[in-house]
């Protein structure tokens, strides 16, 4: 599931610039805080907030993200917009939590393990580009998951 989430200065201008390529139809739903449009074939969806935040992707993924905005995942996503980086991307790691739990407890994790979230920020600095990834578990979680990999081999 991939959704592009961006903050644009001119949301109507953005919609107009992609309308031809996506063959967007009239608003499907419109409220005070969200306008959604679908492509003519219904596969793609564009959701726009008055603040200029846009969500663009396959319809199912955009709907899923909009529904998830009330939980902790959206708080993590909001950190992307607080970043002063050139580029900030958010991802979900579905395996690290299970590896850490297995290593520490020696029990097999349940089929539905919690997700770990991470943000990767890219900045220019005096040496070139700098990429920094911040995750729920940080360096300690990464070390523990690497130990888990060695144990499995």
User: ∠6-10-15 over CA atoms, to 5°?
Assistant: 75
Q: Alpha-carbon distance 71 to 121, whole Å? A: 22
Query: Global pTM?
Result: 0.61
Q: Output the tens digit of pLDDT for each of the chain's 153 residues.
A: 678 888 888 888 888 888 887 777 666 777 888 888 888 888 889 988 888 888 899 999 888 888 876 544 455 566 777 777 878 887 777 777 777 777 667 666 566 567 777 888 889 989 999 988 887 777 776 676 666 666 555
pLDDT for res 97: 72
* Ramachandran angles phi, psi of 125, nearest 5°: -135, -175
Length of the chain, please?
153
pLDDT for res 73: 47
């Amino acid at each position: 599931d991939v959704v592009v989430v961006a903050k644009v200065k001119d949301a109507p201008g953005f919609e107009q610039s992609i309308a031809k390529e996506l063959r967007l139809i009239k608003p499907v739903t419109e409220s005070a805080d969200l306008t959604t449009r679908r492509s003519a074939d219904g596969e793609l969806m564009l959701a726009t907030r008055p603040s200029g935040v846009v969500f663009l992707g396959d319809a199912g993924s955009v709907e899923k993200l909009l529904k998830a905005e009330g939980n902790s995942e959206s708080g993590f996503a909001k950190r992307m917009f607080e970043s002063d980086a050139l580029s900030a991307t958010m991802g979900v790691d579905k395996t690290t939590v299970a590896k850490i739990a297995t290593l520490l407890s020696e029990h097999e994790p349940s089929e539905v393990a919690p997700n770990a979230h991470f943000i990767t920020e890219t900045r220019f600095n005096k040496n070139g580009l700098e990429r920094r990834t911040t995750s729920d578990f940080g360096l300690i979680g990464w070390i523990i998951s690497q130990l888990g990999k060695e144990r499995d081999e």
